[in-house]
Structure 1
Amino acid sequence: MKNLYLGLISLFLLVVVTACSVTEHTETKEHIDNIKHLKIQKTNVMITDDKKLVGEMTVPDGKNKNKHIVPTDLYYTFTIKNTSKNGISLPGVEKVKLRIEPDKDLLSIVKETIGTNIYDVDESGLGFGLSIENEISSKKTSKFTLNYTLGAKQKNDELPLLPSKEKLKKLQDNALKGTLIISQDGKDVARFRLDTNE
């Protein structure tokens, strides 16, 4: 009788774990299917040190003193449309990520300008920002943003000084030579050419 009781408990736990796993898999598949209904309508890119967009850093400045630094970022804004007949609910930035894969020309220019590949945030160590909206109504648009830190105008111990305006302009002029990649749970689920919006 005891063995039968333990067997029933084990079976019940197995059913519960399997059901939870199937539910999680179904939700993930649904979100990935939703992402496939997104289309880029417009991409804007600018170089900015607008504190409202890029924030502010507090860095050490001598003994027991700090100073505030506003970084300068390469700032992308994507206008994205939900082409499906239903509203799309995304799980948020903890699961959905955006990144840019630069073409060879852009990669060469960014390394020449900044000294590192800003698009590889682990390699550059300069930081980046990301925002997405969790709800997009049917046939409506939403704005996603992605920004990469380039440096700062003021000398400091945290960020490099910005290169010349001419070099920054060349970087901005070529900043759409790449592909926006949307990933979920570590898997790439959508790719969009930035210079063609396809």
Structure 2
Amino acid sequence: MSKNLLNYLTDFIQSNRLKIKIELDSNFKGLAKYDTTDNKIVVNKDYATTEKAKVYKLPVNLYALLIVCHEIGHFLDEERQSIQKEIGTLLEKINHGKYSVDVENKILDLNNTLENNAWKYGKPYVPDDLIATYDLINVKNKEVTNINMLRKVLRFKYNDKEIELTKKIKELSDDNKKLRNKNIELMTENYNLKFGKELDI
């Protein structure tokens, strides 16, 4: 099944004269992705299943085709890299303790732009009778990617708090150790004064 699906998708890419590779894999989370480094679309074969396709009343090959069309949209999006870079910069800002609602909303807006662009640029490659289903898949995709991006924002936000908390705990631990050593010194001095001999601690 996987081999037949890969051949089907490869033929589709080649018939549209797109200079991009395609492969099936399952070593990542998500439905599919465009890999900029290797210039390839990777479809998660664990998601491209009959069960998933049935949700949209499609055979697996057509379901996978619509997923690939969306990734073609990412491939064709000339703004993609600059938008991804801006998202990365904003996430780093959060990671360094500069979270705000405005920053969070900006990240979500940029993410929406990425997904809307992919939706738009991939649409011309969709067969006419599948456009309505393609649009539905993209609506669902935006919901999922926004939730995933929000999770990432929160992870960066609270990771910063975890770092801050760890730092505070270390400071308290160091202070406690200094205080303990000081108490031992005082206790030793008091013992020596009272009994005139060394206290073995």
Verify same fold: TM over 0.5.
no
Q: RCO higher in 1 or 2 (8 Å CA, sep ≥ 6)?
A: 1
When you count helix as a share of all residues, which structure comes out higher? 2
Query: Radius of gyration: which is bigger?
Result: 2
When you count strand as a share of all residues, which structure comes out higher? 1
Q: TM-score, normalised by structure 2?
A: 0.23
Q: TM-score, normalised by structure 1?
A: 0.23
